[in-house]
Amino acid sequence: MAFVKILKNTAYFKRFQVPKRRRRQGKTDFHARRKMVRQDKNKFNNRKYRLCVRFTNKRCICQIMYATLKGDIVVSAASSHELTAFGIPMGHKNYAAAYATGLLCARRALKKFGLDEKFKGKEEIDGEEYHVEDEENEQRPFKCILDVGLRRTVVGHRMWGALKGAVDGGLHVPHSAKNFPGFKAAEEKGAESEYDAEAHKDRIFGNHVKEYMEMLQEEDPTKYEAHFSKFISAGIDADKMEEMYTEAHEKIREDPNGEAAEKKDITQTRKGNKVTGSDGTEHIRSMKLTLKQRRVKVAAKIAAAQAKMMDDE
């Protein structure tokens, strides 16, 4: 038999380091995180803000946060399901919703720091490249870097919609237009690349969804009713799409916090395991047994088992 070298010997396992929990779970790219979180030594304890953009199966989430030794502290957050209050009742994970969520998060952050009046951002949305730091202002703009997590940074991804919304909202996020929809890289060496701002504007206002709605409505009405049932129930057709997003952008700029939900004056009383509300609703919520009660319960079970054994004999 040939000699086989043992690679994972005792010395190997003595030096083995268990990866961080979120690396084991496949949730965090620590190589990228170290670069984003690392701060210069002469800026010790200064906050380095990140614009974190994440997508789930149902919504888009934008958060502005900074890292500390205890953990990340969230300064401002916005989720696309909150867009219902601003006039977008459905379609909370497309490009247009990502733009509106980024805009909402940016305006909330600036309002929190008292910068919403100084940095208005880009009020006319035309898809053109915009940098708030290029404008003349006495105060420097609020800066944060984009954190996309484990997502691939491909051209035209929804994450760039959230970035564009935050930038148009007045945040200083270092970026270029090379990943935006409508960008076309140079085919030959030395040639200039092209950026079609109109194509990006169409994405921001959901024109790609509008075109798909019109196509389905003509070719397959049954599929149209199934795919866009929430749009139909809300009374929104293809022609009202751009108007819906325009009004939502205006409402976000007027008041990013939105109207507070009304508090329900409902009191609840408990009697044993039954909880009764003042509105007449009843719920069963079992109470935790004490040690004495648990021992009595176990003793009763043992006694019942012994009695059954005696009967069988």
> Do the domain assignments include residue 21?
no
Instruction: State the distance between the two ends of the chain, measured CA to CA, in whole angstroms.
Output: 64
Distance set, CA 259 to CA 84, 201, 254, 262 (Å) = 12, 29, 11, 9
> Do the domain assignments include residue 277?
no
Q: What is the pLDDT of residue 80?
A: 96
> Do the domain assignments include residue 227?
yes
Tally of structural domains, the chain: 1
The 3-state secondary structure of the chain, one letter per residue: CCCCCCCCCHHHHHHCCCCCHHHHCCCCCHHHHHHHHCCCHHHCCCCCEEEEEEECCCCEEEEEEEECCCCEEEEEEEEHHHHHHHCCCCCCCCHHHHHHHHHHHHHHHHHHCCCCCCCCCCCCCCCCCCCHHHCCCCCCCCECEEECCCCCCCCCCHHHHHHHHHHHCCCECCCCHHHCCCEECCCCCCCCCEECHHHHHHHHCCHHHHHHHHHHHHHCHHHHHHHCHHHHHCCCCHHHHHHHHHHHHHHHHHCCCCCCCCCCCCCEEEECCEEEECCCCEEECCCCCCHHHHHHHHHHHHHHHHHHHHHHC
Nearest to 249 by CA among 120, 71, 134, 141: 120
Q: Please report, for the domain that includes residue 101, its CATH number.
A: 3.30.420.100
What tens digit of pLDDT does each residue of 162-209 get? 999 999 999 999 999 999 999 998 888 888 889 999 999 999 999 999
What tens digit of pLDDT does each residue of 47-60 get? 999 999 999 999 99
Q: Range of 89's domain?
A: 29-184+194-254
What tens digit of pLDDT does each residue of 270-292 get? 888 899 998 888 999 888 889 99
Q: What is the pLDDT of residue 13?
A: 85
Q: What is the mean pLDDT of the chain?
A: 92
> Do the domain assignments include residue 273?
no
- Whole-model pTM above 0.75? yes
> Do the domain assignments include residue 172?
yes
> Do the domain assignments include residue 174?
yes
Angle formed at CA 237 by CA 234 and CA 243, multiple of 5 degrees: 90
What tens digit of pLDDT does each residue of 101-137 get? 999 999 999 999 999 999 999 989 999 999 999 888 8
Rounded to an integer, the average pLDDT of 21-38 is 94
> Do the domain assignments include residue 8?
no
